Amino acid sequence: MSTTVSQVPAVITAHLDAVNAFDEDGILATFAPDAVVNDARREFWGADAIRAWVKQEMVGDRVTIADLPEDPHASPFEEEAEAAPPESAGGHGGIEGLDEDGDGIKTPVPAAGKHLTLREFREKSERQYIVDTLRMAGWNISRTAIMLGVERTNLHKKIRAYLIKRGEG
């Protein structure tokens, strides 16, 4: 038995359209005022709590299907035949690391003669922090996402964007 679009209740299609458009108000309009959302064993009661949940979990991150791994069970750390960029070969693209407070986490600083833009520095720092946290978590994605305070799908997205490979760092 298959269901056609004309057989799906209007509130469901309105909800899906609003989610796909990242429309916070549109999503909220599909909930009753006294609604309860149960998301991964977390409950959100009433419009204010649901609005905060929608804002953080559905609209704010703007994760799309393109951000998800093709195979959700595949490791993002599989070795690839293509050459890795210089950053993953041990160096950090003109950046040296300092462990100023002795916590084992190195803060990237520009090498002599190379000054980075704020964006480059932030990206290099974020990449290094993700690698360091992955190492501390034994390269466990779920544990690392919890430690970093981000959704697992966003962590996968950043791992792909920064070309992070298992065991580096």
Report yes or no on whether pTM surpasses 0.85. no
Helix (H) or strand (E) holding 42: strand 42-45
Domain-by-domain residue ranges, the chain?
A: 5-60, 66-161
Domain 5-60 classified CATH 3.40.50.1100?
Answer: no
3-state secondary structure of 116: coil
Give per-residue pLDDT as tens, 51-80. Answer: 988 888 878 767 677 777 777 777 767 655
Tell me what pLDDT residue 149 has: 92
Supply the pLDDT for residue 39. Answer: 84
Q: Among the ranges 21-30, 34-43, 95-104, which has the highest mean pLDDT value?
A: 21-30
CA 66/CA 84 separation, integer angstroms: 22
Predicted local distance difference test score (pLDDT) of residue 53: 87
User: What are the CA-CA distances from residue 146 to residues 67, 75, 78 (Å)?
Assistant: 19, 17, 22
